Structures are given as C-alpha cells and as structure tokens.
Amino acid sequence: MHFVSIWYRLQDVGAKTEADPRKEKESSCTFCEIVHGNLRVSKIDESERIIVFSSLGGYPLIAPKKHVDNVFDEKLDKEIVHELAEMEVRVARAVRSAFKVDAVSIISANGKEAGQQVNHYHVHIMPRTANDISLLEYKRRGY
C-alpha cells in the first residue's frame, strides 16, 4: 500500500518545475517528503536530526532529516553522524529483541554503483537469521 502511495506522489512531484535546483532535489526526494509529513509511513522514532521509519520490507530505515545525498555529501556533518550512530545502536538492539533474532545487518549503500536506490543517505537495520539469504555477497573485482 505504501509503495503505491509513494509512486503516485513521486509522479506528482516529478511534474513540478522549480527554478531552484536545491528545492527541486528536496521536493523530489521520497525521504524528504516523509520528513516533511507529505508521505505517510510508520514512524518508529525520531530525534532532532534523525528519523526512523518502517521500510517497505518491514524493517527500520534510519535517515537524517536534512537532505544528504550519501556518505560523501559534505552536508553530512559530525552532529548528524553522531546522532545516526547512536540511533543505529538503539534501533539494532530493539530489532534484535522485537524480531527475536541474534543478528542484524546494518547496511548503507552509497552511490548508484553500490546499489543506492533513494538519493538520500539512509541506513537499513535488517534482522537476520542463520538460514536467510545474505545481502553481503560481493563479486571479486581484483582491487
């Protein structure tokens, strides 16, 4: 249900033409729309700089409220990094308890080639079990 709502909202946002490219980027960002309350999600937690909400897969996503493209973006300042790290630990512990698992994967893809699909820095906190499929399979590239 959320996916359909997000998709339709993105179609509306994509039709806008803004003069300021910074505003256009933020207004076309799904996570910024969530932060501003324009898209409904299951919010799990938030702080002054960070929001935590349920992903379409049912596990938590953690993102800065301020638009930051990825880990390489200069707008990712030390205050945000500090709050992100604290929130990762809190959420990972809660996921382990709530999902009754012994492990979690904390994943952040940074850049298209790394698999980043939403151009707003975020962290996946995924519950893991012994026999699930690993997302951490890499092809050896010789570097």
Tell me the pTM. Answer: 0.77
pLDDT by 10s per residue, the chain, length 143: 343 343 344 444 443 333 444 454 556 899 999 999 999 999 999 999 999 999 999 999 999 999 999 999 999 999 999 999 999 999 999 999 999 999 999 999 999 999 999 999 999 999 999 878 765 555 555 55
Q: Minimal CA–CA distance to 59: which of 84, 91, 33, 34?
A: 91
Beta-strand ranges (E) seen in 18-122 are 43-46, 50-54, 60-64, 103-107
Which residues make Cβ contacts (< 8 Å) with residue 18, sequence separation at least 6? 24, 27
Distance CA 64, CA 98 (A): 23
Position 96, amino acid = R
